Amino acid sequence: MGKAKFGIFGDGKEIAQLAMAKAFRNGDIRSGYYRDQTFMLAIGELTLEQFFAQLYAHTDVNADPATAGRMMNGHFATRMLDENGKWKNLTDLKNSSADVSPTAAQMPRLVGLGYASKLYRNNPELHQFNQFSEQGNEIAFGTIGNASTAEGMFFEAINAAGVLQIPVLVSVWDDHYGISVPNEYQVTKGDISKILSGFQRTEHEKGFAIFRAKGWDYYNLCKVYQKAAQICREEHVPVLLHVLEMTQPQGHSTSGSHERYKSKERLAWEEEFDCIVKTREWILKNEVATVEELEAIENQAKNTARTARNTAWQAFVDTMKPDYNDALQLITQAASQSQEPQKIQEIAEELSKTLNPLRQDAIKAVKKTLRLLRNENIASKTDLVDWVRQVMSKNFDNYSSHLHSQSNESALLVQEIKPMYDENPLLIDGREVMKACFDALFERNPLVVAIGEDVGKIGDVNQAFAGLQEKYGELRITDTGIR
């Protein structure tokens, strides 16, 4: 029986992600999507137990540090704040921003992350904040599927990265499909790097460094990623790495099968050019390992994965057992006191026979019992009502807490400062009030920047930034395009 409601995976993308992980350093940050589990495992920011915990939606933050069971499968993240809400030293860590479900939504954020590195490199005032950046010597790695490159957010982000010249390295995982729809229906020419070739930098014009590589060619992928990362990190040039000839052997997700829409020829090609199969061939050809050694590794890997699966499942189940056992006991007790003993006992028996019971099973059984007891006044009814209240309180913490910061850094704890007015206040334009506010803010906090159309040279359409670019410089107050 499947113990997860839904699964979506990165099979067929493993080898490129291993190569990318080799180029990823402490201080770098990822803005990717939900097929990057191999990369997260390779950089040491995801364990096998955590992988299964997020699949089961385990709400313990220690079991699933990325989301505490609250998001869709494969939504990876690293924790940048400690338990007290204080910033960690991100330059000592391999970092990942939190994944989101819309399939190109990581791209605008990628631009922001890359732009931050540009500011940290070029603004000497920011060099003191070395827990965030080593003077811009980091890369924002982005990943996206080939079909999602047809989205507006992708094109807008690529253009912005080229204009700004920021250290972003965008990997396009190209398995030729977006669910069942092939590339020729997705992008012009069916090839995203071809149609972006006009972004390629030249000797005299700034732009992107564009690379192409095959998703099954491990040796070349490693070389390309190292070269791409060096250009991106040292020169602050944006990079597009189009990884072609990938496969998706599990289909889009557990909700479908790729046999439904791929031809026999394509399926045969995918079996032959599976990146793990091709890498195995490369290992044997270059005598990196023997067949026997590889088989031993493969068997050990299967056993390790099964053990992690079972360990994660048991840890998940153990968190629910106390409430389940209490519910069963209370329902049985109610049956012995009620005027409807048979019906209530049937509820208890049904609950006891539930295969792999979840939280909802115990809650549904108790509420069903309470409906039968609605006209009775017995002690066990009170116990059941108390049980529901306690469990709902715990589940609020499991599923609804921390929507806002609950640490001492919470904005809700900032003390209000009441406005003060002179007895005969001077009446001035609102723009002057806003300008004075921005001026004071930029003066006291070097981390504050303003980015927007018209805020720089002309000081904002409403003149709230008039003269501030001259005072604080273009890196602090920056004109941008209409994007």
> Nearest Cα to 141, choosing from 219, 76, 71, 74?
76
**pLDDT at 6 (0 to 100):** 80
Task: Tell which residue, 360, 337, 359, 335, has the closest CA to residue 349.
Answer: 335
pLDDT (mean) for 439-464: 96
Percent with pLDDT over 90 in the chain? 94
Q: Is the pLDDT of residue 1 over 50?
A: no
Tokens of 37: 């589990």
Q: What is the DSSP letter of 27?
A: T
- Model pLDDT, residue 244: 99
Q: What angle do CA 171, 40, 133 make, to 5 degrees?
A: 75
CATH of region 14-288: 3.40.50.970
Residue 356 DSSP one-character state: S
| pLDDT value at 129 more than 60 | yes
| Residue 8: predicted pLDDT | 87
**Does residue 317 contact residue 311 with C-beta atoms inside 8 Å?**
no
481: Cβ–Cβ under 8 A, 6 or more apart, which residues? 160, 163, 453
- Structure-token pair, residue 413: 């704890």
Task: Give the pLDDT score at 302.
Answer: 98
For 82-86, 197-201, 300-304, which range has the lowest pLDDT when averaged over its residues? 82-86
Q: How confident is the model at residue 251 (pLDDT cuts 50, 70, 90)?
A: confident
* Distance (Å, whole) CA 81 – CA 87: 5
Q: Is the predicted pLDDT of residue 267 greater than 90, yes or no?
A: yes
Q: Tell me what pLDDT residue 250 has.
A: 86
Question: What's the rounded mean pLDDT across residues 11-18?
Answer: 98
Cβ atoms within 10 Å, residue 437: 11
Domain residue ranges in the chain: 14-288, 319-399, 416-479
Give the rounded percent of residues in the chain with a pLDDT score beyond 70. 99
Nearest to 83 by CA among 414, 406, 427: 406
* Interatomic CA distance for residues 239 and 140, integer angstroms: 10
**How many Cβ atoms sit within 10 Å of the Cβ of residue 3?**
15
pLDDT in tens, 45-70: 999 999 999 999 999 999 999 999 99
Question: In this structure, how many other beta carbons lie within 10 angstroms of the beta carbon of residue 463?
Answer: 14
The CA–CA distances, whole Å, from 467 to 123, 433, 446, 455 equal: 19, 14, 17, 10
Task: Report the alpha-carbon distance of residue 348 to residue 250 in Å, rounded.
Answer: 39
At residue 3, the pLDDT reads 65
What is the pLDDT at residue 482? 84
Given this model, what pLDDT does residue 327 score? Answer: 98
Please report the pLDDT score of residue 95 as a whole number. Answer: 99
Burial (CB < 10 A; 0-12, 13-18, 19+), residue 370, is middle
- Please tell me the distance from the alpha carbon of residue 102 to that of residue 106, in angstroms, as a whole number: 8
Task: Specify the DSSP element, H or E, that contains 209.
Answer: strand 209-214
Average pLDDT over residues 267-282: 98
Is the pLDDT score of 2 beyond 70? no
Q: For residue 252, how far is the Cα from the chain centroid?
A: 18
Q: Which of 30, 14, 10 is nearest to 221 (CA)?
A: 14
Specify the pTM: 0.94
Question: What are residue 141's DSSP bridge partners?
Answer: 30, 169
CA separation, residue 93 to residues 19, 29, 78, 227, 433 (Å): 19, 9, 9, 22, 42
